[in-house]
Amino acid sequence: MAKKGPTSKRERAKFHDQSVTRGEGGETHQISAGDVPVLTTRQGVPVSDDQNSLKMGERGPTALEDFHFREKLFHFDHERIPERVVHARGYGAHGYFENYKPLTEVTKADLFQRKGEKVPAFVRFSTVAGNKGSADLARDVRGFAVKLYTKEGNWDIVGNNMPVFFIQDAIKFPDLIHAAKQEPDSDFPQAQTAHDNFWDFMSLMPESMHMAMWIMSDRAIPRSFRFMEGFGVHTFRLVNAKGKSTFVKFHWKPKQGMQSVVWNEALKINGADPDFHRRDLWDAIKAGDYPEWELGFQLFDDDFADKFDFDILDPTKIVPEEVVPVQKVGRLVLDRMVDNFFAETEQVAFCTQNIVPGIDFSNDPLLQGRNFSYLDTQIKRLGSPNFTDLPINAPKCPFHTLQQDGHMASTNRAGRVNYEPNSWGGAEGGPREAPEQGFISFPESINGDKRRIRAESFSDHYSQARQFYISQTEHEQRHIIAAFTFELSKVQTPAIRERIVSHLLNIDKTLAKGVSAGLRLKELPKPAQAAQPTRDDLPPSPALSIIRNGPESFKGRKLGALVSDGADAATVNALRKALKQEGANLKIITPEIGGVELSDGSWLEGDEQVNGGPSVVFDAIALLLSADGVKVLAREPTARDFVADAFAHLKFIGYTAAAKSLLDKAGVDAAGDEGLVELKRPADAAQLVKAYRKLRLWEREAHADQS
């Protein structure tokens, strides 16, 4: 007879003591600790042997009655759910949002009523085009989806790291995504827009040109999720207790500052560590270095909306921060990684229509379409209308509905009532509507003919694209030209390349000429026909540049120090100390993973061996080498790449005197380059860390271009 499962705590403890597991060879091991749980089936039946299926005879067939085996395989066979149709690759973390001060004037949303109000939050960052297993450093938009578990329900701000979008009407979304993802016959390229279909579509959709500038900028290759901005994109409404509405655009400003990588580095990171962004977030949060963003509101009223140069309902436009400043209203802190990726990050279901009293939609046609799509997609992905009951999706405030049943129902009400109105009084009668407290849509008056139409006020496609371009530093402009050139060089149809250049001519002549030269077009095409002429009176917006808004510290960044046997121990220790003071991380790269013996005979363990820790995964490098050590490393191609890549990617390089010959071997021209800092004595380590604060030596790139 089968042994009954343990019921009381005491019985269970006894049970644990008796439990055994069987090794591959069939030997048994006694589990000594009393707190190791017994392996059971999903029915709670203890499992005696998890290594062998039930056989008829030693070499005979497997018995169908082996319920443990069948249950195990059945469950495994059903482990996958459909990946998200877009934003399939993502990474989530928990945290909280804290409100700075009461904002009762503009909104009655509960989370903004009290200073210091804290609500739990879950954030999922993602790329858009790639499949679930694609590499983190694809050139792409990043999703920045935030779920705030407020006391009056869940509020999802399902945003991106760019404030505009490709299209103006949700009806074009399937076309955009079909064109961007793998081509349907070949099923490649994966996680890249560098192919004909994508640029064909873009070239035929002038409204996408502002977004084209953003995705060809460094914003599309962030150094980490921690160093990027987030945007709600659409105009939303805030509504106060009196029913007054104010338009709002949402911003997330990273306290860590903004930072991106360079394109060649991105390509190499994808090979060296396809999980680069995931690992970064994981490492930072696990180390207690919690990333933080401030929530910003851009607030404006109908008068502003009427006077503004562009339609505030058009998601291909921004409201420059210099025109309407961003007011910081609270902070979002991510302080806990998930316990289980699937249960939380994969099953989290963001929906733009999850808003709370005090927040409302605008008529942005993209937002209107999204409000349909997100709920719909969750059914497909999660398989049941009860996805809202999953712990990651359930509100953390009380909730009472009269909905019932469906797959996996687990929160059906007790009692007889599942409808209303009903005449059963009190608790028996179930939940009732709350006319005062409940969500009331802003009573906007609308009239007009029912037509398939695009408003005339949406027809300027180039002016803000130009404004974006002229707001960038020279370095960033160069990167945009290079990115267009790279992407279009992968497009095999010359006519598509030319069509894109014809749009760029409407944005900026130098940009168009740069790309045209990069592609070696025989002649410049004619500018594309424009519905509206490009305005050249929009002033630059410094807030749009990453380099102008970079951090002034090396905090939260990673240094890769290549260390050899015999390296000076005092220098290694001084560097470690200086980095710690800065709040930065040190990773030790050694010829072999076991480590090296330093000058004082102490042993230094390696974090990576030299061919497993290329410099592309670090923000800066140091070469802490002895005269003997450098001889060995100079013969090692990966050590030479370590240095050559760091130099080419404009990184700061600290080096000991002996390391000079490795710099030479790597082809580094040290003359007059302020990014190369010699460590003459241990005390120079502090100076080196100061130099690292600049993150990149952009001047080196300009120099390389001219030479």
Residue type, 299: L
The answer to the question of residue 384 lying near ligand HDE (CB under 6 A) is no
Among 15, 38, 90, 633, binds ligand HDE (CB under 6 A): 90
Encode 360-393: b = buried (16+ Cβ within 10 Å), e = exposed: bbbebbbbbbbbebbbebbeebbeebbbbebebb
Number of Cα atoms under 13 Å in the Cβ half of residue 293: 27
Our CB check for ligand HDE shows the closer of 143 and 525 to be 143
Contact 575/685 with Cβ under 8 angstroms?
yes
Stretch that binds ligand HDE, among 210-218, 373-381, 391-399, 515-523 (CB under 6 A): 373-381
Q: Using CB under 6 A, which residues numbered 526 to 565 contact ligand HDE?
A: none
The structure tokens 């890769």 sit at: 560
Contact 502/478 with Cβ under 8 angstroms?
no
The answer to the question of residue 233 lying near ligand HDE (CB under 6 A) is yes
Distance of alpha carbon 329 from alpha carbon 317, whole angstroms: 23
Looking at 68, 87, 210, 277, which residue is catalytic? 87
Decide if 585 is catalytic.
no
Number of Cα atoms under 13 Å in the Cβ half of residue 90: 31
The answer to the question of residue 317 lying near ligand HDE (CB under 6 A) is no
Stretch that binds ligand HDE, among 260-268, 275-283, 364-372, 507-515 (CB under 6 A): 364-372
- Contacting residues for 182 by C-beta, under 8 A, at least 6 apart: 188, 189, 190
Among 15, 374, 484, 554, binds ligand HDE (CB under 6 A): 374
H/E stretch holding 69: helix 67-77
SS3 sequence, 487-555? HHHCCCCHHHHHHHHHHHCCCCHHHHHHHHHHHCCCCCCCCCCCCCCCCCCCCCCHHHCCHHHCCCCCC
Smallest gap from Cβ 601 to ligand HDE, in A, equals 51
**Count of residues engaged in binding ligand HDE, rule: CB under 6 A:** 25
Q: Do you know the residue count of the chain? A: 707
Residue of 691, 684, 624 lying closest to 660 (CA atoms): 624
Residue 48: both structure tokens together: 């005696």
Task: Assign 53 to helix, strand or coil.
Answer: coil
Smallest gap from Cβ 644 to ligand HDE, in A, equals 37
Q: How far is CA 562 from CA 400, 587, 626, in A?
A: 59, 9, 11
The answer to the question of residue 126 lying near ligand HDE (CB under 6 A) is yes
H/E stretch holding 284: helix 276-286
Stretch that binds ligand HDE, among 85-93, 96-104, 295-303, 665-673 (CB under 6 A): 85-93
Our CB check for ligand HDE shows the closer of 348 and 621 to be 348
The answer to the question of residue 93 lying near ligand HDE (CB under 6 A) is no
The C-alpha angle with vertex 330 and arms to 329 and 335, in degrees rounded to 5, equals 165
Stretch that binds ligand HDE, among 48-56, 365-373, 472-480, 624-632 (CB under 6 A): 365-373
Our CB check for ligand HDE shows the closer of 376 and 605 to be 376
Among 6, 38, 86, 272, binds ligand HDE (CB under 6 A): 86
Distance of alpha carbon 208 from alpha carbon 186, whole angstroms: 25
Task: Fill in the DSSP letter of residue 341.
Answer: H
How many other C-beta atoms are found inside a 10 Å radius of the C-beta of residue 340? 10
The answer to the question of residue 181 lying near ligand HDE (CB under 6 A) is no
The answer to the question of residue 350 lying near ligand HDE (CB under 6 A) is yes
Among 165, 276, 297, 387, binds ligand HDE (CB under 6 A): 165
Residue 223: both structure tokens together: 């150094």
The answer to the question of residue 84 lying near ligand HDE (CB under 6 A) is yes
The answer to the question of residue 319 lying near ligand HDE (CB under 6 A) is no
Residue type, 152: E
Residue type, 659: A
Q: Is 435 exposed, middle or buried (0-12, 13-18, 19+ CB in 10 A)?
A: exposed
Q: Rounded to a whole number, what is the largest CA-CA distance in the chain? A: 91
Q: How far is CA 508 from CA 157, 315, 320, in A?
A: 34, 22, 19
Our CB check for ligand HDE shows the closer of 82 and 637 to be 82
The structure tokens 């909104």 sit at: 107
Looking at 99, 154, 160, 197, which residue is catalytic? 160
Stretch that binds ligand HDE, among 42-50, 322-330, 367-375, 466-474 (CB under 6 A): 367-375
The answer to the question of residue 170 lying near ligand HDE (CB under 6 A) is yes
- Binding track, positions 127-146, relative to ligand HDE; x by CB under 6 A: ----------------x-x-
The answer to the question of residue 278 lying near ligand HDE (CB under 6 A) is no
Distance of alpha carbon 106 from alpha carbon 240, whole angstroms: 5
Our CB check for ligand HDE shows the closer of 388 and 590 to be 388
Smallest gap from Cβ 97 to ligand HDE, in A, equals 17
Smallest gap from Cβ 317 to ligand HDE, in A, equals 13
Taking CB atoms, the residue at the shortest distance from ligand HDE is 143
Among 124, 249, 251, 503, binds ligand HDE (CB under 6 A): 124
Our CB check for ligand HDE shows the closer of 15 and 214 to be 214
The structure tokens 């210099």 sit at: 322
Smallest gap from Cβ 531 to ligand HDE, in A, equals 21
The answer to the question of residue 682 lying near ligand HDE (CB under 6 A) is no
Our CB check for ligand HDE shows the closer of 84 and 181 to be 84
Decide if 386 is catalytic.
no
Stretch that binds ligand HDE, among 57-65, 84-92, 249-257, 403-411 (CB under 6 A): 84-92
The answer to the question of residue 222 lying near ligand HDE (CB under 6 A) is no
**Residues acting as catalytic residues:** 87, 160
Which positions touch ligand HDE (CB under 6 A)? 84-87, 90, 124, 126, 143, 145, 158-160, 165, 170, 173, 233, 315, 348, 350, 366, 369-370, 373-374, 377
